[in-house]
Amino acid sequence: MIRLLQIEWGKLKSYRAFWVMIGLYLFILFSIIFGLPAILDYIAAQAGENEAIKAFKSLAFNFPDIWQNIAYVASMRGFIKIILAIIVVIFISNEFTYLTIRTNILSGMSRTEFLVAKLQVVFLLALMSTLVLFISGFYLGITNSPVITLTAISGKLQYLLAYLLEVFTYLTFALLIGTLIRKTGFSVIILLLYLIVEPIVGHYLPDQFGKYLPMNAMNNVIWSPNTSLMQVKTPEFDMDFQTAISIGDVGICLMYAIIFSGILYLYLQKKDL
């Protein structure tokens, strides 16, 4: 296991384009997480220290709701996590366009090991993203919460675990696209195109099937932010908000991670490289 990670690390550590893109991703992620409260402060100041906006800010970035809210923003469909997916697509399709997968296999890596190595990297990328959310969420929570207790902090941490699963599944999807298509540019186009294709397909499917489509399944794990403020329900404002993570939704998402890995496994076992 460590050997496979060392091999992948050897491929990535001097790969400038990879680190530039990781930097870009982190920059955008931090900008959003830290930019939002700054913007709210600015709006509040412009509106003459508007109490409603101030209250919204402290509720949105309050423990424990902050975990759900930043996990929701970071996992939005076709939003910043697409950058991570593009990084994964480049990372895997390089092996096919440079033909280096051949060197890997003929030097004595099994095809299964090759897949496990890639899945490990994908998992670490998802973990890195989750850790960034944890650290920035922790900082914002500490600076915005009126009451800081251990129960408040840990209250909705399960949303970060759900985020980890959702991003990992999405990145496994990117790994699959990059492997099946093998060409970097074309894979990225397919990845983006799929964001449009799935809603169209979903539109023609009966409602009860729509949620089983892969993107929907991933997004259903964390599907709406939930602040105390937004829980207000009136006849005019009658929207559902997520109050808990459904085990069923987690199960469907997990199943997709397994299906994508399974297809990758079969493909890599059978195909000429």
Partner 1 sequence: MSNILNIESLTKTYGRIRAVDHLDLEVDKGSVYGLLGPNGSGKTTTLGILLDIVKPNEGSFRWFGEAPSAKSRKRIGASLEHPIFYPYLSAEQNLKIIARIKEKSFDDLDEVLKLVDLYKRKDDKFKTYSLGMKQRLAIASALIGNPEVLILDEPTNGLDPQGIAEIRNIVIRIANEGMTIILASHLLDEVQKMCTHVAVLRQGKKLFSGSVGEVLSVSDTVELASANLEILSIAVKDFAGISNLRKEGELIVAHVDEGVNTTDINEFLVAKGIVLSHLSLRKQTLEQQFLELLQEAK
Residues at the interface with partner 1 (CB under 8 A): 3, 6-7, 10-11, 14-17, 98-100, 102-111, 113, 270-273
Q: How far is the CB of 112 from partner 1 (least distance, A)?
A: 9
CA distance 154 to 102: 47
Tokens standing for 188? 């990225």
DSSP characters over 9-75: HHHHTT-HHHHHHHHHHHHHHHHHHHHHHHHHHHHHHHTTS-HHHHHHHHHHTSTTHHHHHHHHHHT
**Contact call for residues 156 and 65 (beta carbons, < 8 A):** yes
- Residue in 179, 175, 181 with CA at minimum distance from that of residue 124: 175
CA distance 77 to 219: 7
Q: How far is the CB of 267 from partner 1 (least distance, A)?
A: 12
CB nearer to partner 1: give 189 or 263: 263
Q: How far is the CB of 18 from partner 1 (least distance, A)?
A: 9
Centroid of chain to Cα 86: 12
Q: How far is the CB of 273 from partner 1 (least distance, A)?
A: 5
Q: How far is the CB of 208 from partner 1 (least distance, A)?
A: 41
CB nearer to partner 1: give 70 or 90: 90
CB nearer to partner 1: give 6 or 31: 6
CB nearer to partner 1: give 100 or 149: 100
CB nearer to partner 1: give 2 or 196: 2
Q: Residue 260: CB partners within 8 Å, gap ≥ 6?
A: 169, 172, 173, 175, 176
Residue 97: other Cβ atoms inside 10 A: 13
- 3-state SS, residue 244: coil
Q: How far is the CB of 79 from partner 1 (least distance, A)?
A: 29
CB nearer to partner 1: give 108 or 146: 108
